[in-house]
Structure 1
């Protein structure tokens, strides 16, 4: 049962290795509001100015942390929207009609999205308040429709980009994945979308093995061998592209993968229309990943227990790893 108290928990690391305050980016997908309605609502709440970047993107300026973006989450339409339409002619009219038809179809199934700049951890409460404001304005989330597959994505900045720190967090995430998935209560529309696939079991076994503490190059190569895709619940491609662009681009050419010194946590649904839903749900669960990663002894024991669980097919089929985690390896969640 979810804790109804909207407390935003503190992660174990509040600063980066360089001493700066850690930041986190937030992405929210939704329906119920048109692009300009959503942009006006966010801008009004935060005191920002709205600028257009094509017909399907709005940039909100004035935040010291950087620009906010409100957009239709459809890359083809965004590209079309940045192009000037042809002058009045039959060809131009056909282009306009085709684009408008595509936009009309997209409106029914493609979310509008709010993307924050990297925000200091202390500003997460501000995002929580923004969620409530958007809900009041009519924003709708995944479970409002059978065909919606809307997500909330978190991009927490790493406290340390060294291989050992990254590996510890990855080990913790793999151990807690079943618990995170159960807590997220993923809607059927997103379960079949393949946007948040789990890691392959053979890869999980490799990473949680006690001796797996590779150098950065090996860590990246191993990841790319089994996960050359953005469609993971925890997408490490942006981080690895930031750390070693040439190595990643040899395997992944997708232009949507962009470098940044963050984890890209893609699992949670966005159920923004529900009164008890908020940023705190996914954030607090993510904090449990970091807390496990920061506790060397607990992480070692949890990895050993999970490796044993994975080695027993009957236990995997009939056992309850989530219950074991809650009883033995997690703090109060």
Structure 2
């Protein structure tokens, strides 16, 4: 594979809604290490200091962008690990035995998660280098084991926070979802989970109609009606909670929703153990969503074609929307 195919495409927008350099958070779920070994590897790679917020969490301190978090991706165990152990000997022994059993089980089933701070887009190349470094050290990913439903997630900041812009981005993602799913080649283990479900068909039909021009409140309400869950390939709940927390809280009180002015792209696998795998694969796919959202003429034509496809049983039978997307609606490879 040529170097150009490994390069990171340039995002459509370089500034965030506050006219500052745009940032993106990256999350990786991996196996192959214990918590302290992985933390040491990353601390040395980034030249950062280690803190211990709990028995199953580590922080890397000293990055100008913010703290990195490395943790066992199991909220109950993290909560237990933040509490001091019992003082009496018998109580401590019983508590530790139960906790150790839970930890032993969790370590076989759930990944270690690396969570970056919001990074300037210019630092994505450093994340790519980190991935290569971890692979060389023995990191394992999604397809290494049948039970590894591991993912890589992006949290790119939005350049605008108004309803028309957000609507265009949702439309672009709905139109490109089938292609993204096929191109990403999602692992079967993650396919049968609910983590990266598409938007329901009725919602995709609603938002890609030519006359769909909601205000912000209506846009959020429409989303919540059909997507009251974080388990979507493009999870908009963090963004909508940032924009109108009360409106979101009326529908879902999920404590894991973290309000922030970002998208939450959850679709990609994390095949970090594969030699040619890297951040560039999923990032470049995401850039296609941004490019379609930016090109209003192409977006409207694509939405019209998608509506026609969804509403035509014969076209559904004879054609594949992912293939149509690639041949007719994506930017040429040279762009």
TM-score with structure 1 setting the length: 0.98
1:93-138 deviation line (CA, Å, top 9, x unaligned)? 1111111001101111100010000000000000000000110111
Q: Distance in 1 between matches of 2:76 and 2:92?
A: 18
* 1:288 matched residue in structure 2: 288
Q: Distance in 2 between matches of 1:126 and 1:329?
A: 31
* 1:45 matched residue in structure 2: 45
Q: Distance in 2 between matches of 1:253 and 1:40?
A: 36
* 1:215 matched residue in structure 2: 215
SS at structure 2 position matched to 1:25 = strand
Answer yes or no: is the 8 Å Cα contact 1:175–1:303 preserved in 2. yes
1:174-213 deviation line (CA, Å, top 9, x unaligned)? 0000000001111111111111111100000000000111
Q: CA deviation at 1:3?
A: 8.5
* 1:109 matched residue in structure 2: 109
Map 1:184-195 → 2, pairs under 5 A:
184-195=184-195
Q: Distance in 2 between matches of 1:313 and 1:254?
A: 37
* 1:27 matched residue in structure 2: 27
* 1:76 matched residue in structure 2: 76
* 1:134 matched residue in structure 2: 134
Answer yes or no: is the 8 Å Cα contact 1:4–1:276 preserved in 2. no
Moved over 6 A (4+): 1-4
Unmatched tracts of structure 1, length 5 or more: none
* 1:159 matched residue in structure 2: 159
Q: Let me know the Cα RMSD of the aligned residues.
A: 1.3
Q: CA deviation at 1:16?
A: 2.0
Unmatched tracts of structure 2, length 5 or more: none
SS at structure 2 position matched to 1:12 = coil
Answer yes or no: is the 8 Å Cα contact 2:235–2:265 preserved in 1. yes
Answer yes or no: is the 8 Å Cα contact 2:16–2:23 preserved in 1. no
Q: Distance in 1 between matches of 2:153 and 2:169?
A: 17
* 2:258 matched residue in structure 1: 258
1:289-320 deviation line (CA, Å, top 9, x unaligned)? 00000000000000000010000123223311
Answer yes or no: is the 8 Å Cα contact 2:203–2:226 preserved in 1. yes
Q: Distance in 1 between matches of 2:138 and 2:55?
A: 22
| Number of aligned residues | 333
Answer yes or no: is the 8 Å Cα contact 1:180–1:285 preserved in 2. yes
